[in-house]
Structure 1
Amino acid sequence: MEPDGIGQLYQAYEQLKKKLADEGLFSAPKRPLPRFPKRIAVITSPSGAVIRDIITTTRRRYPIAQIVLYPAVVQGDGAAPDLVRQLERVNAAGAYDTLIIGRGGGSIEDLWPFNEETVARAIAASQIPVISSVGHETDTTIADLVADVRAATPTAAAELAVPVLTDEVVKLQQQRTRLYNAMTNRINFQQERLNKLMAAYVFRQPQRLYETYVQRLDHAQQGLARNMRTQLQQTQQRYQLAQQSLQSHNPLARVQRDQITVTQLADRLNTEAKRYLADRQERVGKLINGLDYLSPLKIMGRGYSYVTQDDHVVRQTADLKTGPATIHLSDGTATADITDIQPTSED
């Protein structure tokens, strides 16, 4: 079983409401209405009571605002496209501060163009703040949910769109009076301060103002002179002490003392060098005699000799082999032929 008639419209209404809510069209930031609009665009039927109520209320409250009617079909099959076209025209003009869209009361079928998705998206895309006033106070359309402000009646829409001019004039006069009183009080207060300052002792005898500073300047100059004299005396004393110290540490006398010391050290160095050289010469002579005593030539001169074979010195029978060998004597060499080797037994 499927809903028909009014039930089908309510079902379509709820489905579209959920869809646009999920997209965030209802929760999007609402644009504030201008407080003092100059031009107001109204999209509604030119023959209904809506436009008359809006004009009457606006002229009574704020007659300086200009109302421009954009006539539209607000009921039937062609209403939704016409409403979208007029919304686009108002935004294309761009010379309006506020836009009111609405119609009078009726059944859900009569108000259905304001529940169309195209109308809702056109209101959401509007660059001008939109006041929706559709049907009676108990009627809620998709256009009411998408608009920046919802009004229960056309009269309420006009009241939301414009202030009461006489009230604003009274407020301006009150603000003017408060501003005038505040400035008067401020001027009087500053005048009293000026009078007190002009009657002050300093202004009656201004020389008193700088006498103290002159005295302080004199004291400062005297103190500066004393400090300069003290510093000069201290500098002179330091100069005298430095001069005495330089005289006591005359480099010429020190050079003379150092020359004597150098001469004495040179004599000592020469003496020590000669003694050290004599000691070394004596030690070298003893070493030469010892080496000469241990020389193999000296030993061989006493009748000793040594044998080499294959350029190696023979120290024992194990180093010998049969064949030629060289006998080294003190005055030459002799060649021998080894034919037999007899090692000495351990016994």
Structure 2
Amino acid sequence: MHKEGDFLAEEKKYLTISQLNHYVGLKFSKDPYLRQVMVVGEISNFRLRPSHQYFSLKDENAEVSVTMFRNDFARVNFQPENGMKVLVIGDVGLYEGRGQYQIRLTHMEPLGIGALYQAFQQLQTKLNQEGLFNPAYKKPLVRYPKRIAVITSPSGAVIRDIITTVKRRYPIVQLVLFPAVVQGQNAAASLVGRLKEVNARGDFDTIIIGRGGGSLEDLWPFNEEAVAREIFASQIPIISSVGHETDTTLSDLVADVRAATPTAAAELATPVLAEEIMRIQQAQLRLQQAVRNTLAAKQQIYQRLMQSYVFTNPLRIYERQIQQVDFLKQNLQQIFGTGLQNRRAWVDNLSQRLQNQSPLTRIHQGQTNIANLQTRLQMAQKRKIEISQANWQRQIGRLDAVSPLKVMQRGYAYVQKKGQVVHSVAELEVGSQVALQLADGSAQAKITEIKGE
């Protein structure tokens, strides 16, 4: 039989549940292979909680509990759902209270998104280094477009939003839809083909390319390198409207302008017609006012000039000179007498030349020249009319000479049978009634004999 002391000694060799779990927890925490473990699995038992998240990851054969604390879950940029496959990174540990091992997650992303996002970042870096995103290559939009090409799905809400907005803002522009596949394996080739087609036509002012919202996989055709390079190569300005405002694709970065929504794209592509008409009317009013002000200022200058001394009394300009000439003449006569007649004639000549320079003399001379030119013009017009009338009479004479009536006046006639002109004796029969058309009338006759040549 065991004594009571022996039972107490043996009891000290047993571990409590807490001690066991704590020991196993230390093993988990000290194992370097259980830190930052990368696991792929399917979400199960997920229910969104206000703080920390507790759910499970499973595959076909097993399941593990996971925990994600509030700070780590705040960095997740998608909404987890049951059945969603995810890629997770975390530390494996033991929840000692239940003796259950679990993964404390520090990162989680949907399966497949990671590879696409990495490809997106790599291609974005490559195109950026080549300068495809450089603002210097961005083409300005045409302010008043006549034709806009829309490359999108014909059945989506994008084209309806664009049509509605354009009709409201700028109904005089022509919208042309180029239907394209915007999702799936054939989407990139379809988009590139439509871009080439629009640029080859060359009769569009703006291109709008885009689609509605969706997942990264749905929007991926607009991240294809071929589509981005074709947008960059376009000679026509392009507005990109892909997904929602929070979505950003390589097409948005390469395009000349990015719009958050299809409605915003239509607003960027077109002005408001009513506002433009009002702006034109205001400019017209300003121009009219400026012209009126200019004319008024010029009219004032004209009135001042017409009221000036030069125009009101043009002869007064020469009065002083004439008086001076007369004074000199008198002085010459008094000093030199009759022996200076030649000098006086010279002075008279200067006086006459001075008078000839008067504006009135030039005006009279100009009026005489105008009258002579008018006379010459009238004579030339009369001569032209006479020549035209003579030519007309000659043409009438020529037409009259070849007139069939002239021929008939020389004794010729033509024969009609039952209202039809007879061209040959083969059309006649003995006894036939015919009508003879002469220059001054007609006569009825009967065929009594037919002779051929």
TM-score for both structures, normalised by structure 2: 0.46
**What pairs up with 1:148-159 in 2 under 5 angstroms?**
148-159=256-267
In structure 2, the partner of 1:179 is: 287
In structure 1, the partner of 2:117 is: 10
Compared CA separation, residues 35 and 216, structure 1 to 2 (3 A): farther
CA distance in 1, matches of 2:307, 2:261: 68
CA RMSD, 1 decimal: 2.3
**2:252 aligned to which of 144, 154, 163:** 144
Compared CA separation, residues 214 and 59, structure 1 to 2 (3 A): farther
Letter in 1 for 2:255: A
Structure 1 residue runs without a partner (length 5+)? 220-347
- The structural deviation recorded for 1:168 is 0.3
1:119-151 C-alpha deviation (Å, 9 max, x unpaired): 000000111000000011111110001000111
**2:166 aligned to which of 42, 46, 58:** 58
CA distance in 2, matches of 1:110, 1:163: 32
1:111 aligns with 2:219: yes
1:205 aligns with 2:313: yes
SS of 2:122's equivalent? helix
- The structural deviation recorded for 1:192 is 1.2
Letter in 1 for 2:275: D
CA distance in 2, matches of 1:126, 1:164: 26
Letter in 1 for 2:251: A
- The structural deviation recorded for 1:63 is 0.4
**2:130 aligned to which of 7, 18, 23:** 23
In structure 2, the partner of 1:268 is: none
1:316-338 C-alpha deviation (Å, 9 max, x unpaired): xxxxxxxxxxxxxxxxxxxxxxx
In structure 1, the partner of 2:209 is: 101
Higher radius of gyration, 1 or 2: 1
1:264-310 C-alpha deviation (Å, 9 max, x unpaired): xxxxxxxxxxxxxxxxxxxxxxxxxxxxxxxxxxxxxxxxxxxxxxx
In structure 1, the partner of 2:149 is: 41
SS of 1:160's equivalent? helix
CA distance in 2, matches of 1:210, 1:81: 92
In structure 1, the partner of 2:276 is: 168
1:136-190 C-alpha deviation (Å, 9 max, x unpaired): 1111110001000111110000000010000000001101111111101111111
Compared CA separation, residues 81 and 201, structure 1 to 2 (3 A): same
In structure 1, the partner of 2:91 is: none
Compared CA separation, residues 181 and 217, structure 1 to 2 (3 A): farther
SS of 2:244's equivalent? coil
SS of 2:208's equivalent? strand
1:85 aligns with 2:166: no
Compared CA separation, residues 81 and 194, structure 1 to 2 (3 A): same
Compared CA separation, residues 212 and 129, structure 1 to 2 (3 A): farther
**2:140 aligned to which of 27, 32, 52:** 32
- The structural deviation recorded for 1:214 is 7.0
1:130 aligns with 2:238: yes
CA distance in 1, matches of 2:213, 2:306: 75
In structure 1, the partner of 2:183 is: 75
**1:188 aligned to which of 296, 303, 306:** 296
CA distance in 1, matches of 2:315, 2:153: 86
- The structural deviation recorded for 1:195 is 0.9
Compared CA separation, residues 214 and 39, structure 1 to 2 (3 A): farther
CA distance in 1, matches of 2:186, 2:326: 101
TM-score for both structures, normalised by structure 1: 0.60
- The structural deviation recorded for 1:207 is 2.2
**What pairs up with 1:290-309 in 2 under 5 angstroms?**
none
Letter in 2 for 1:68: V
In structure 1, the partner of 2:391 is: none
1:20-76 C-alpha deviation (Å, 9 max, x unpaired): 001111114211111100000000000000000101100110000000000001011
1:197-239 C-alpha deviation (Å, 9 max, x unpaired): 11111111112335567789999xxxxxxxxxxxxxxxxxxxx
Give the length in aligned residue pairs.
220
CA distance in 1, matches of 2:303, 2:248: 69
SS of 2:188's equivalent? helix
Compared CA separation, residues 203 and 92, structure 1 to 2 (3 A): same
CA distance in 1, matches of 2:130, 2:164: 38
SS of 1:163's equivalent? coil
CA distance in 2, matches of 1:217, 1:110: 105
SS of 2:137's equivalent? coil
- Runs (4+) off by over 2 Å: 1-4, 207-219
Structure 2 residue runs without a partner (length 5+)? 1-37, 40-86, 88-110, 328-453
User: Percent identity at matched positions?
Assistant: 66
CA distance in 1, matches of 2:155, 2:302: 70
